[in-house]
Amino acid sequence: MNFRIRILQIIFILIFALYAYRLFGMQIVRGSIYQARAENITRRTNAIAAQRGEIFDRTFSEPIVQNSDSYAVSITPGEIPSEEIDEILERLSTLLSIPREQIDRTVPASAYSLYQNLEVASGLSFDTVATVAENADALPGVTWQLKPTRNYIATGSLSHITGYVGNITRDELTVLYNEGYKTGDTVGKAGIERQYDQILRGTEGWETRTVDARGRRINIIEGVATRKPAESGKNLVLTIDQKIQTLAEKALGTRIGAVVVMRPNGEILAMVSYPWYDPNLFNRPGSGTEYAALLNDENKPLLNRAIQSNYPPASTFKIVMSTGIYNEKIIPPLQAIECKGYIEYGNRTLQTTPWRCWQRIGHGRLNLHQSMAQSCDVYYWVVGRDYLGVDRIVEYARDYGFGSLTDIDLPGEVAGFVPSPQWKQRRFHENWLGGDTMNMSIGQGFTLVTPIQMADMVAMVVNSGTVYKPHLLKEVRDPITGEVISENTPQILHKSTVDPSVFAEVREDMRGVISYGTAVYPLNIKSVQIAGKTGTGEVAGLTNQWHSWLASYAPFQTDKPEERVIVSVIVEAVNHWDWWAPYCSAIIYQGIFANQTYEESIRSLGFQNLQPIEGRRE
């Protein structure tokens, strides 16, 4: 019996020693580790959203985009009892006045076990969040936080420039995760907001609090940092002049098309694309229906036509042709070619359908200078086909930047297109014909350009062969002090090898278009001398409807080249035909150089009876 008792004592002593050893290890040796774990269980860390930087026009006086206080509501599904989650989501849908389907997209059934904070709604008012707070005891796992939203003060045509923001998508997160983005972040979706998102977004802060089992704050842990403030994003100053932007917007009116107003050094003073949209709608809860309406609108209001739409250049392409003719010296500029109003070529004869000049009765005998001014198709058909040739036309078109991106600091730019015999053979398995060269010589056929490329074409002429990158960012400034952090200086995009004297000749011919050519009215105005080239582009499928182009600059002659302004205007053929591009340009030049508003400009020019015509699609 004593032996058994001793065995039992030894067993108890060993068990006690084992527990003592274990307790010593947990409380003394590894006590700090378990203490940290306990603290983590009772601590909650919430992110503090950073204020996005504001966006200003070139004067840095009033913001065109700023922030407004609003709130976001999030759910941590793992903290909600599984038997209550459906009821709680339904209740939250009612309190937030958003469809249950919207919450289910953010919190699908597969995420019910996650302890991840999922944002279900943002852009909420204080009253809405106060209602949620009043029901906090009945909403386990639901939290709310301050989350500033964007307030687009200047809307209208600026929407395509500023863009808009939204919650990061799964696809975007896959790309941006390694750059510090996470679920629930706000990111730029279009325009400047997207292009400079890294500069605008700032650095998120955090706040730690100690809570009980119901999530209520109970105390602050000694010696532990409880808050790190967020750092606001940097402010951006754009090259946009709001006065000129408004002038261009009103001058284009409600016609579907685009306007670019640019300095020869690449600074964009105004960029208009109609129709536009209101970026503030993306801040409103449940805006999916309105967004879907924008996507389905046949006039494509989300499309920035200044950089994202391709058009045949029409007769503005004759600037490229004239450059090639002067530079190659293939025909004396004073040598005349007769225009009878048509020419016969290939299977298109007088008995069928000859190649007809826009001036059906003919221009008579014209040299290069006169042909540019009168936009004679016959002259350029003959010289392009018989003298210059397609290979050299392609070379000069590409030298002007057609078929390449301008590298403007906006996302989504398209490159246009310059065809070639090799491309046609690959695409259609057909040989390039003389008729293709004739079409290309007057900017028809397969050639496609954007309004920003057209502005660059004029800039190349003005700068005697140098093209700068078009840009919208002027400066980056500190959000607190307003101090300039960095300044965007003009960068050369391309430098042509064409002799500068050639561009001087082209400038003279562009002035002739305005002083005695096709645009003598309405562009021969008193406030400033303009030089440019009109274009009327045919569109397949539309009868008696044409694209209306004007690519121009002013002043024609000046002692202050920095004052020069380039204006590129396209009015699409889907509008009622009214040859509006020259009128639009005249209003813009009058407003800039006479320092007048749109209303004052049209009175000065005598255009007050020309009312805007609403754009439409046939």
CA 153 from chain centre, in angstroms, equals 17
Give yes or no for a contact between 195 and 164, defined as CB atoms under 8 angstroms apart: no
H helices of 385-541, in order, are 390-399, 421-428, 434-441, 451-462, 500-515, 520-523
- What per-residue string of b and e applies to 281-292 under the rule 16 or more CB within 10 Å gives b? bbbebeeeeeee
Residue with tokens 């004593």: 2
HEC per residue, 57-84: CCCCCCEEEEEECCEEEEECHHHCCCCC
Q: Among candidates 518, 565, 573, which has minimal Cα distance to 545?
A: 573
> Torsions phi, psi of 376, nearest 5?
-75, 115
Give yes or no for a contact between 148 and 67, defined as CB atoms under 8 angstroms apart: yes
Residues with Cβ within 8 Å of residue 253, at least 6 apart in sequence = 274, 580, 584, 612, 613
Which pLDDT score, from 0 to 100, does residue 149 have?
A: 85
Which pLDDT score, from 0 to 100, does residue 9 have?
A: 83
Could you tell me the pTM of the whole model? 0.85
Question: CB neighbours (10 Å) of residue 524?
Answer: 14
DSSP string of 413-445, one letter each residue: ----B---HHHHHHHHS----HHHHHHHHTT-T
The tens digit of pLDDT for each residue in 368-386 reads 999 999 999 999 999 999 9
Which pLDDT score, from 0 to 100, does residue 217 have?
A: 53
For 269, the 3-state DSSP assignment is strand
Residue 403 Ramachandran class (φ > 0 left, ψ -120 to 50 alpha, else beta): left
Q: Where along the chain do its domains lie?
A: 2-42, 70-147
Q: Among candidates 59, 567, 99, which has minimal Cα distance to 287?
A: 99
Instruction: Return d(Cα 368, Cα 371) in angstroms, integer.
Output: 5
* pLDDT averaged over 10-residue windows placed end to end, the chain, 618 residues: 81 84 73 60 68 94 88 84 86 87 85 79 83 85 82 92 91 88 88 96 79 53 66 95 96 95 98 95 72 89 96 97 97 96 88 88 96 96 97 98 97 97 96 96 96 98 97 96 94 96 97 94 93 90 83 95 95 88 96 96 88 44
> Torsions phi, psi of 475, nearest 5?
-150, 155
Q: Considering all CA atoms of the chain, what is the largest pairwise distance in Å, rounded to the nearest integer?
A: 137
Instruction: Return d(Cα 576, Cα 140) in angstroms, integer.
Output: 60
Of the options 3.90.1310.10, 1.20.1250.20, 3.30.9.90, 3.40.50.300, the CATH number for the domain spanning 70-147: 3.90.1310.10
Instruction: Return d(Cα 587, Cα 510) in angstroms, integer.
Output: 19
Instruction: Return d(Cα 589, Cα 581) in angstroms, integer.
Output: 12
Q: Which amino acid is at 169?
A: T
Give yes or no for a contact between 514 and 530, defined as CB atoms under 8 angstroms apart: yes
Which pLDDT score, from 0 to 100, does residue 523 have?
A: 93
Which pLDDT score, from 0 to 100, does residue 617 have?
A: 35
Instruction: Return d(Cα 392, Cα 404) in angstroms, integer.
Output: 17
Which pLDDT score, from 0 to 100, does residue 50 have?
A: 82
Which pLDDT score, from 0 to 100, does residue 122 have?
A: 79
| 232, two tokens | 């606001």
The tens digit of pLDDT for each residue in 325-371 reads 999 999 999 999 999 999 999 888 787 888 999 999 999 999 999 99
| 455, two tokens | 């502005």
Residue 355 Ramachandran class (φ > 0 left, ψ -120 to 50 alpha, else beta): beta
Q: Among candidates 62, 78, 77, which has minimal Cα distance to 119?
A: 77
Which pLDDT score, from 0 to 100, does residue 583 have?
A: 95
Which pLDDT score, from 0 to 100, does residue 239 have?
A: 97
CA 405 from chain centre, in angstroms, equals 14
For 495, the 3-state DSSP assignment is strand
CA 449 from chain centre, in angstroms, equals 17
Instruction: Provide the 8-state DSSP code for 94.
Output: H
Q: How many helices (H) and strands (E) does the chain have?
A: 23, 26
| 518, two tokens | 């096709």
